[in-house]
Chain A
């Protein structure tokens, strides 16, 4: 009954196992972090980036489209929520949060509609250009956004009367719950008929058109869903930092989310999460003794592209005999086989 390489039984069992281990890890992580001198803050950040990476990966890993400007949506949702709290509902966290997501998804949908007709490298051009446009507007509209200094004074208020997310640990748990919801939702999406079509498009776009799919509208939907999940991560990040920074939408951030997916492995859901944990940790660690994080980031890019293109999940998948992460591997293998 279960179809497709990426969804064999073995893999499903593996995934369930990962989720169970994960839940324990969620509770244990902050304690663990403290014992090695790290913080609850970092633990929360890891899950926010895991959401970001998962959302991004719906587009890259499951639809085969790469965006080099996804940080724009991450940052934009932060700003939208921040401005909403400052100017409209200063006593609420929930409403700015929802507004940030809704607003960003809407803008993302409009931009997506415009750029989805481009393909391949051309798409890379326009995603990066549009992310620069968003960044440019945020930086230049100083009256509203306080320019390069960012927007401060954001407060975390209780979600409802009885859900208090103000203390650090409570917020951590809140983020983890959202993360689990996102994970489950994405799991449903990639197993749904819709998700299968996305993977078919990734495998062979022309064929998908010739069996009667309006491929472009699938790609657009995938893009919009991806923006949606990205903006969820963005607003959560805002209420963690209590500050909206223009850096959150810089190209470096777009690069970071790409590398999270690349490091973890892009053709399943566990990969990006693993990547988010590794990269966030690494960044925190390296930034503690040098300003030159970018050279490490670039180095990881080169290392994984050259040596482990299938990511960590794929790398370990090799021993399992069942490697569902093949499709972006060297074309050479396929051709020599056929």
Chain B
């Protein structure tokens, strides 16, 4: 029974990873850069949600908070990254790396280094009897929200015009620009969308993990590993990788808490040794 409940915990953790990894993948696929600020934007999502929720209520907070994060992302893209257009990809990496430092310290300056209280509304606290298991309502809520979001994202990317442009852009950017689509606007949109996903992940995780300035650092590495495992450039890979890592981490806790952190690295090393391109990665993109 405890194993089963850990598996469900793992799936929920996995969905948080997926939201993060999808954002990273979308940004990398379209713009060709690694967003080091993704972890700190996750944190920012939690803070925005808490602060908005304090002024209004939980529901408004969890919707408005991530949108603010997306706006911050679009701001960064519009006023910083866009000026790096045509430069070596290294500079994009360095920019987001520096941004991560800045945003983390800004959070500390505005809201202090300590944690923030965040209470979930009564309707989501408590437990649900699933028949075979009694389980916290809030965690099921996360599972529901993330599943819904993944479906929505899938439909967005495959059925809407904007989504199809983004998808096409991640495969062949030159083609998209030849079609007369303003590439930089697509970039801003994608960066906003990707960072908003990070914001959502942060907002959802906030009540479980506690809201504090360094909460994002903990999640960035597992997400890198999710992408390594799933395969660079594969959205399905991000989903499968996220679930596997989530469940693996949760089950490892049962053996010893120590292992839950270690297992991530073990998985990464194994992937590098056995199948460096990951489960769904294409050959030739990140390797010879």
Instruction: Indicate if A touches B (C-beta under 8 A).
Output: yes
Interface SS of B by simple majority: helix
Q: B residues within 8 A CB of A133?
A: 265
Select the stretch in B127-135, B168-176, B238-246, B266-274 that faces chain A.
B266-274
Asked if A182 CB lies within 8 Å of chain B CBs, one says no
Interface string of B150-188 (1 = CB under 8 A from A): 000000000000000000000000000000000000000
Closest to A292 in B: B105
Q: Number of A residues contacting the other chain (C-beta, 8 Å)? A: 45
A297→B101 contact, CB < 8 A: yes
Inter-chain contact B102/A136, CB cutoff 8 Å: no
Q: Is the CB of B268 within 8 A of A126?
A: yes
Residue B84 is within 8 A (CB to CB) of chain A in the complex: yes
Task: Return the chain B residue nearest A302 by Cβ.
Answer: B98
User: Is A120 a contact of B288 with CB atoms below 8 Å?
Assistant: no
Interchain CB contact under 8 A, B286 and A301: no
For residue B36, give the distance in angstroms from its CB to the closest CB of chain A: 8
Encode contact with A along B56-89: 1 for CB under 8 Å, 0 otherwise.
Answer: 0000000000000000000000001001101111
Taken together as a complex, chains A and B put the C-alpha atoms of A338 and B264 apart, in Å, by: 47
Query: Given A114-B272, A124-B93, A140-B258, does the pair A300, B98 have CB atoms closer than 8 Å?
Result: yes
Contact A125 B224 (CB under 8 A): yes
Q: Please provide the chain A residues from 88 to 121 with a CB less than 8 Å away from any CB of chain B in the complex.
A: 114-115, 117-121
Q: CA of A133 to CA of B98 in the docked complex: distance in angstroms?
A: 22
Contact mask B103-114 → A, CB, 8 Å, 1/0? 111101100000
Could you mark each residue 111-155 of chain A with 1 if its beta carbon is under 8 Å from any beta carbon of chain B, else 0?
000110111111011101110110010001000000000000000
Is B94 in the interface zone, CB < 8 Å from A? yes
Known: A136-B265, A295-B101. A306 touches B94 (CB 8 A): no
The answer to whether B228 touches A125 (Cβ under 8 A) is: yes
> B94–A262 contact, CB under 8 A?
yes
A interface residue numbers (CB < 8 A to B): 66, 68, 114-115, 117-122, 124-126, 128-130, 132-133, 136, 140, 209, 216, 251-252, 255, 258-259, 262, 292, 294-295, 297-302, 305-306, 309, 328-332
Q: Would you call the interface of chain A mostly helix, strand, loop, or mixed?
A: helix
| B263 CB to nearest A CB, Å | 11
Whether the pair B269, A114 counts as a contact (CB closer than 8 A) is yes
Q: Closest B residue to A131 by CB, please name it.
A: B221
Q: Are A301 and B94 in contact (CB under 8 A)?
A: yes
CA distance in complex: A305, B83 (Å): 10
| B91/A255 in contact, CB under 8 A | no
